[in-house]
């Protein structure tokens, strides 16, 4: 379905939550090294609960390696300086939703890369710096999945 790309994530709990997000939505999670933790980290395991074996997680040694595996898909880079509001996009299966490290977000050179289809933002109140990484990814993935009619989900009440 969709591909979540965390560029050099730093906080194990956020990646653990993203593993759980990938497991419950059918999305793939792609991580670009260096990671700010290892997969034995207790906080990563706790946040992901018992969903680790239900999620497709791939670790790439570099952004170039991730692009080699993911392109020619569209890549939407989420940033507080985005031009397009996340809910204004028309998502398609296979789209890549990219998010930067928690402390600094995506670097300028990544945001300017010609392989980025669009810079995307979630609306926030003025003078707020950013949202939590896992929460932002969840909002974006569920909007993309909603647009696909929650394909693959069980019956809705």
Annotated binding-site members for S-adenosyl-L-methionine: 100, 122, 130
Q: Please give the Cα distance from 51 to 71 (Å, whole number).
A: 27
Question: Which single residue is written with the structure tokens 């939407």?
Answer: 76
- Bond from prior residue into 78 cis (ω within 30 degrees of 0): no
Annotated binding site: 100, 122, 130
How far is residue 115 from each of residues 4, 70, 99, 112, 141, measured CA to CA in Å? 16, 11, 15, 9, 20
State the pairing for strand pair 28-32/3-7: parallel
């Amino acid at each position: 379905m969709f591909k979540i790309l965390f560029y050099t994530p730093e906080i194990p709990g956020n990646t653990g939550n993203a593993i759980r997000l990938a497991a419950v939505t059918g999305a793939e999670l792609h991580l670009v090294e260096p990671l700010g933790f290892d997969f034995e980290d207790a906080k990563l395991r706790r946040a992901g609960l018992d969903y680790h074996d239900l999620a497709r997680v791939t670790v790439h040694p570099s952004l170039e390696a991730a692009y080699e595996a993911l392109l020619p898909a569209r890549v939407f880079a989420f940033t507080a300086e985005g031009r397009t509001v996340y809910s204004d996009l028309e998502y398609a299966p296979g789209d890549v939703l990219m998010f930067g490290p928690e402390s600094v977000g995506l670097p300028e050179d990544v945001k300017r890369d010609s392989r980025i289809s669009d810079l995307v933002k979630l609306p926030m109140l003025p003078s707020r710096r950013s949202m939590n990484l896992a929460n932002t990814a969840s909002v974006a993935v569920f909007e993309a999945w909603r647009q696909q009619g929650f394909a693959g989900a069980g019956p809705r009440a």
